[in-house]
Amino acid sequence: MQNPERELPHALDILTTAQSPAILHQAIEKFFVPDASLRHPLGIVEPGPRSRESIFKVYDWYRAISPGTKSKLNEMVYNKENGVVYLDITQSFGSRFTPFPVVPSRASLVLRIGLVETSGGYCIKTQEAFCHPTDLANYLLPPIAPLVRFALMMLAVFQCFGSSAYTQFCSLWIMLFGMGSEVQRGRLDSTIKTGKRGNGNGSASDEELKTAQYYGSGIFP
């Protein structure tokens, strides 16, 4: 690619909508470096000498199970200085193995693509895909998407409850047992601990222990 900002959306469209393995393989050979990597919610290909071939097989599997995949680019940000492209994509993924209709969702997929400059132009070095659990459920099994959403909402409620319970527990602990003993925690004034005051033999007198200044107080540092 000579102009990634202009050519990359077209390249991704070919990768996701190719109708034949030959077209797909040609596109991957053109747009990916041989040791490219892929991170997707449904699979990971680590970089290696022949990792591009593994990426082709992953894409070909997606093409086989969802031949009618459609992608729509909503937004694109190109950081030329760092060679990184961010794309917000709405993708319709209809599996052959489910009788349910495809449920496209807004911002269902966010891609982070790392580019590297080669003799033939810019090529894809890394590709990462980020997908929300509810959107992933829409891809795989649409009827369970509301259940996934409900589970995430309940998880958020549990986190709020846990935060409140922890705060109440700390308050009750302070009311019942006080702020704790700093003497037992060994956080006396450094002059007491080093024995620079007192009877001269490295230990502090009872009067000094009573009037010593502590660092912090209670269960909090």
Q: Which pair of tokens denotes residue 118?
A: 């080669």
Q: In terms of pTM, does the model score above 0.85?
A: no
Of the segments 53-62, 65-74, 95-104, 141-150, which one has the largest average pLDDT value?
Answer: 53-62
Tell me whether residue 59 is exposed, middle or buried, using C-beta atoms within 10 angstroms of its C-beta: 0 to 12, 13 to 18, 19 or more: buried
* Secondary structure (DSSP) of 27-96: HHHHHEEEEEEEEETTEEE---TTHHHHHHHHHHHHHHH-TT-EEEEEEEEEETTTTEEEEEEEEE---T
CA 201, distance to chain mean position in Å, is 57
Bridge partners of 78, per DSSP, are: 85
Tell whether the model's pLDDT for residue 212 goes beyond 80: no
Residues 6+ away with beta carbon under 8 Å from 219: 170, 173, 174, 179, 180
Residue 201 has pLDDT above 60, yes or no: no
What does the mean pLDDT of the chain come to? 78
pLDDT for residue 136: 80
Q: Please determine, for residue 97, whether its predicted confidence score (pLDDT) is greater than 80.
A: no
The reported pLDDT for the residue numbered 218 is 44
Give how far Cα 20 sits from Cα of 34, 55, 64, 98, Å.
Answer: 21, 15, 9, 22
Report the pLDDT value the prediction gives residue 132, as an integer from 0 to 100.
Answer: 84
Q: Give the pLDDT band (50/70/90) at residue 206.
A: low
Q: What does the pLDDT look like over 11-51, one tens digit per residue? A: 888 888 888 889 999 999 999 999 999 998 888 999 988 89
- Name the pairing type of β-strands 32-40 and 121-130: parallel
